[in-house]
């Protein structure tokens, strides 16, 4: 049973635009108000998103030995249009520049081209390991001969997904040569509909394991989901009608596009580069997974295993010029995620954000998440191939450096702006500037005008813009 892509189902267009010019210029409360045009947040929902979506009491129910709740910034990537539908994409992420880069690349694509997606059926794999069988080939055949009965037993474990059109679909059996001899591996394929499905398929496998072991007179060991969910794939592709929009850092759009494609060729040929390339993809993906209550470790494991499926670790996106000379970007990855199950209906923040992202099925959100990975990676490779990563990244990172050095509030912003302006985003420079701004503030108070420190103070000395290194 091969994974077959169903060409992008058209999801209902909600008539809303995720193009929100100047969203980044608003303050936090104004941004929340702006979202009203998109999704009517209640006062309580706004308060929760701003302050606290998970209470310690709920955290205590979710994991063991809970001691509290850990915060992480929550942002909205704007501008994404996929399959002719707009999405606002929530990202819970601590790394600066990701939300901005994804929003910017999504804007470029919607204004200069098109992005479409496809997904396979949401098929998860659960593996049942049987050892100590006398004749592996006969055992394999026996399992296959009993397939219909075994599938029906598996489906007794979850009437809901069967009723929804999902359920156990197939059993594939392989004889695996291992260090401890041949083993029978029965791969149970289950359509999990809108759930990620790990618990669903694990339950089915644990019930089937002993039955299969009896059938072939062997012993069962592992009965567990595979995170290489390569029957549950998504594929997203964008095409730019013209590349003038990519002109940057003195390169024409055409030159920038050519450099970008060559940067991808480097990743395609070198696993060291491919690892960082794929890290950039996951920058766009993990934040959405966290914000939507999905198991990002599971998706990470699946994506990296899929990246190495041909025996060598490769990038999961690719960039090329088609026969018409248009620039294309593509991503193909496994995406085992859900809009039901897990914590999706438990975590109060996730519940709000899933309503806001406005998807009908797990397949739809899987495509949105993969698209976020593609646009984020596109933004990163474009920057890398033109002005380099550090300039913009460090400018956005400057606030973190200022806070790290001890600045707070307005002062942190002033120091970040000054360091970005100078091109010197460094801890030692932030410390120097904190000292400078503190003396300045003190000396502006007439009470201190006769202090020696204020008499010696030269406001221009430390703000020398030419003092770059």
Active-site residue, from 16, 60, 95, 142: 95
- Which of 198, 228, 282, 354 is close enough to bind ligand NAD by CB under 6 A? 198
Q: Is 171 in the site for ligand NAD (CB under 6 A)?
A: no
Min dist. Cβ of residue 354 to ligand NAD (A): 13
Q: Between 192 and 356, name the residue whose CB sits nearer to ligand NAD.
A: 192
Min dist. Cβ of residue 137 to ligand NAD (A): 30
Helices (H) and strands (E) in the chain, counts: 17, 10
Q: Is 225 in the site for ligand NAD (CB under 6 A)?
A: yes
- The torsion angles phi and psi of 86, rounded to 5 degrees, stand at -90, 145
Identify the three-state secondary structure at position 307: helix
- Which of 36, 160, 178, 390 is close enough to bind ligand NAD by CB under 6 A? 160
279 is catalytic: yes
95 is catalytic: yes
In the shown chain, the binding pattern of residues 240 to 279 toward ligand NAD, with x for contact by CB under 6 A and - for none, equals ----------------------------------------
Tokens matching residue 138: 């006969």
- Which of 136, 280, 341, 373 is close enough to bind ligand NAD by CB under 6 A? 341
| CB 1 within 8 Å of CB 231 | yes
Q: Is 124 in the site for ligand NAD (CB under 6 A)?
A: no
Q: Is 286 in the site for ligand NAD (CB under 6 A)?
A: no
Closest CA to 424 of 389, 397, 457: 397
Which span (153-161, 275-283, 393-401, 443-451) binds ligand NAD, by CB under 6 A? 153-161
Min dist. Cβ of residue 228 to ligand NAD (A): 11
Find the Cα–Cα–Cα–Cα dihedral 129, 135, 139, 142, rounded to 10°. 180
Active-site residue, from 86, 121, 194, 295: 295
| CB 383 within 8 Å of CB 392 | yes
Min dist. Cβ of residue 463 to ligand NAD (A): 51
Q: Between 8 and 342, name the residue whose CB sits nearer to ligand NAD.
A: 342
CA distance 271 to 267: 7
Q: Is 359 in the site for ligand NAD (CB under 6 A)?
A: no
Active-site residue, from 40, 279, 345, 421: 279
Min dist. Cβ of residue 185 to ligand NAD (A): 17
Q: Is 161 in the site for ligand NAD (CB under 6 A)?
A: yes
Q: Between 161 and 213, name the residue whose CB sits nearer to ligand NAD.
A: 161
Q: Is 194 in the site for ligand NAD (CB under 6 A)?
A: yes
Q: Is the dihedral of CA 380, 382, 384, 388 positive or negative?
A: negative
Radius of gyration of the chain (CA): 27
Active-site residue, from 85, 393, 399, 436: 393
Maximum distance among all Cα pairs of the chain, rounded to whole angstroms? 98
94 is catalytic: no
Q: Between 284 and 293, name the residue whose CB sits nearer to ligand NAD.
A: 293
Closest CA to 89 of 452, 373, 440, 402: 373
Q: Is 227 in the site for ligand NAD (CB under 6 A)?
A: yes
- Which of 155, 170, 187, 199 is close enough to bind ligand NAD by CB under 6 A? 199
Tokens matching residue 4: 């077959």
Min dist. Cβ of residue 171 to ligand NAD (A): 19
Count other Cβ atoms within 10 Å, centred on residue 331: 27
In the shown chain, the binding pattern of residues 296 to 335 toward ligand NAD, with x for contact by CB under 6 A and - for none, equals --x-------------------------------------
Min dist. Cβ of residue 351 to ligand NAD (A): 14
- DSSP track, 44-67: HHHHHHHT-SS-HHHHHHHSTT--
Closest CA to 161 of 188, 196, 186, 120: 196
Tokens matching residue 136: 């592996």
In the shown chain, the binding pattern of residues 5 to 44 toward ligand NAD, with x for contact by CB under 6 A and - for none, equals ----------------------------------------
Q: Which residues of 10-43 are buried (b: 16+ CB within 10 A; e: fewer)?
A: ebeeeeeebbbeebeeeeeeebbeebeebbebee
CA distance 458 to 342: 60
- The torsion angles phi and psi of 79, rounded to 5 degrees, stand at 85, -5
Q: Is 164 in the site for ligand NAD (CB under 6 A)?
A: yes
Strand order in the sheet with 327-334: 113-119, 233-240, 327-334, 317-321
End-to-end CA distance of the chain: 59
295 is catalytic: yes
Helix 362-385 and helix 98-112: axis angle, to 10°? Answer: 100
Instruction: Kindly list the catalytic residues.
Output: 95, 279, 295, 393
- Return residues touching ligand NAD (CB under 6 A): 158, 160-161, 164, 192-200, 202, 225, 227, 295, 298, 338, 340-342
């Amino acid at each position: 049973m091969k994974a077959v892509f169903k060409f992008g189902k058209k999801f209902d267009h909600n008539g809303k635009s995720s193009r929100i010019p100047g969203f980044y210029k608003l303050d936090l409360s104004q941004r929340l108000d702006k979202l009203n045009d998109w999704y009517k947040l209640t006062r309580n929902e706004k308060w929760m998103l701003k302050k606290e979506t998970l209470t310690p009491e709920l955290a205590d129910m979710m994991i063991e030995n809970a001691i509290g709740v850990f915060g992480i910034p929550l942002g909205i990537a704007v501008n994404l249009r996929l399959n002719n539908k707009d999405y606002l994409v929530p990202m819970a992420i601590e790394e600066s520049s990701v939300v901005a880069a994804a929003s910017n690349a999504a804007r470029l694509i919607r204004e200069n081209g098109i992005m479409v997606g496809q997904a396979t059926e949401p098929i998860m794999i659960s593996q049942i390991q049987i050892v100590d069988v006398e004749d592996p080939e006969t055992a394999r055949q026996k399992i296959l001969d009993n397939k219909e009965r075994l599938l029906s037993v598996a489906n007794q474990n979850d009437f809901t997904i069967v009723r929804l059109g999902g359920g156990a679909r197939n059993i594939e059996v392989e004889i695996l040569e291992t260090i401890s001899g041949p083993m029978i591996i029965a791969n149970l394929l289950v359509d999990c509909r809108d759930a990620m499905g790990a618990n669903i398929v694990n339950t089915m496998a644990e019930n089937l394991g002993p039955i299969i072991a009896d059938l072939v007179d062997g012993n069962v060991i592992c009965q567990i989901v595979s995170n290489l969910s390569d029957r549950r794939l998504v594929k997203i592709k964008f095409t730019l009608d013209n590349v003038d929009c990519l002109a940057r850092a003195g390169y024409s759009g055409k030159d920038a596009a050519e450099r970008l494609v060559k940067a991808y060729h480097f990743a395609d040929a070198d696993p060291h580069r491919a690892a960082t390339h794929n890290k950039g993809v996951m920058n766009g993906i993990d934040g959405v997974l966290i914000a939507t209550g999905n198991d990002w470790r599971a998706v990470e494991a699946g994506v990296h295993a899929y990246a190495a499926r041909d025996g060598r670790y490769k990038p999961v996106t690719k960039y090329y010029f088609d026969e018409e000379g248009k620039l294309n970007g593509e991503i193909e990855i496994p995406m085992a995620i859900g809009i039901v199950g897990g914590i999706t209906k438990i975590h109060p923040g996730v519940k709000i954000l899933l309503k806001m992202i406005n998807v009908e099925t797990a397949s739809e959100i899987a495509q949105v998440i993969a698209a976020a990975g593609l646009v984020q990676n596109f933004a990163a490779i474009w920057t890398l191939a033109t002005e380099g990563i550090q300039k913009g990244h460090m400018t956005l990172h400057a606030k973190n450096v200022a806070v790290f050095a001890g600045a707070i509030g307005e002062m942190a912003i002033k120091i970040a702006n000054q360091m970005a302006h100078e091109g010197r985003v460094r801890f030692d420079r932030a410390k120097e500037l904190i000292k400078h701004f503190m003396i300045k503030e003190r000396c502006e108070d007439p009470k201190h005008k006769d202090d020696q420190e204020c008499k010696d103070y030269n406001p221009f000395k430390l703000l020398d813009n030419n003092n770059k290194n």
